[in-house]
């Protein structure tokens, strides 16, 4: 039996905050590994801009390359229709029924759980592991989801405050600003090579260091 963390998202693009979140969850929950699951068709929002699911998968694959604690799954990219988390968890449970699953969410995502497709089934299939944010404390999240069956088993995690977001990365690329140190080098290089997010120019290895300050996630 393995203890497996599931970290889903658009990863448009992946950045250091995603990696730190995965690492902190792995340590705090004593996980064997964390699986990154790029969304195929986001059910609640349209991704803009979206370089395409395969490109986002490649970006995440580059982000986690070389760290055998992390892997990337195409499970939502290969399934037709909206990428509902409950369907992903059902598939993972069917493939490895002895594994213990932990769904890793940010505080804002957890607070919105009640609007998800079959939220109580999500809570039945995996332990919710929530990273608290300044705008969403565990008390505030508990008020939002406390009536859901299974919400009492939610685990709360702490992680360093990393004020980096995918939208910030996209804005910086579009403005011609460096993104090195905000994303793994391999991600920055692919963004530059493909001209993603309206960017162009030399690969990230030639860029100067970026500021550690960012916009709210």
CATH superfamily of 3-162: HUPs (3.40.50.620)
pLDDT digits (tens, 9 = 90+) for 37-95: 999 998 877 788 999 999 999 999 999 999 999 999 999 999 999 999 999 999 999 99
Residue-level pLDDT at 85? 97
Q: Distance between CA atoms of 58 and 76, rounded to whole angstroms?
A: 14
| Cα 198 from Cα 54, distance rounded (Å) | 18
**Would you call 142 helix, strand, or coil by DSSP?**
helix
- Helix H or strand E segment including 101: strand 100-106
CATH 3.40.50.620 in the chain, residue ranges: 3-162
* 79-135: pLDDT as tens digits: 999 999 999 999 999 999 999 999 999 999 999 999 999 999 999 999 999 998 778
Q: How far is Cα 188 from Cα 213, in angstroms, rounded to an integer?
A: 17
């Amino acid at each position: 039996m393995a203890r497996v963390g599931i970290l889903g998202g658009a990863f448009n693009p992946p950045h250091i905050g995603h990696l730190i979140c995965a690492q902190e969850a792995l340590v705090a929950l004593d996980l064997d590994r964390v699986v990154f699951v790029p969304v195929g068709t986001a059910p609640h929002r349209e991704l803009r801009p979206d370089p395409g699911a395969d490109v986002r998968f490649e970006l995440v694959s580059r982000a986690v390359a070389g760290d055998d604690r992390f892997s990337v799954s195409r499970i939502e990219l290969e399934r037709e229709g909206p990428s509902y988390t409950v369907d992903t968890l059902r598939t993972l449970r069917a493939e490895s029924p002895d594994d213990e699953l932990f769904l890793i969410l940010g505080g804002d995502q957890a607070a919105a759980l009640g609007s998800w497709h079959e939220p109580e089934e999500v809570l039945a299939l995996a332990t919710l592991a929530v990273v608290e944010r300044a705008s969403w404390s565990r008390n505030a999240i508990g008020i939002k989801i406390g009536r859901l069956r299974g919400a009492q088993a939610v685990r709360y995690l702490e992680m360093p405050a990393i004020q980096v977001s995918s939208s910030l990365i996209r804005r910086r690329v579009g403005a011609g600003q460096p993104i090195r140190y905000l994303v793994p080098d391999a991600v920055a290089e692919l963004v530059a090579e493909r001209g993603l997010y309206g960017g162009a120019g030399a690969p990230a290895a030639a860029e100067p260091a970026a500021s550690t300050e960012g916009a709210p996630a």
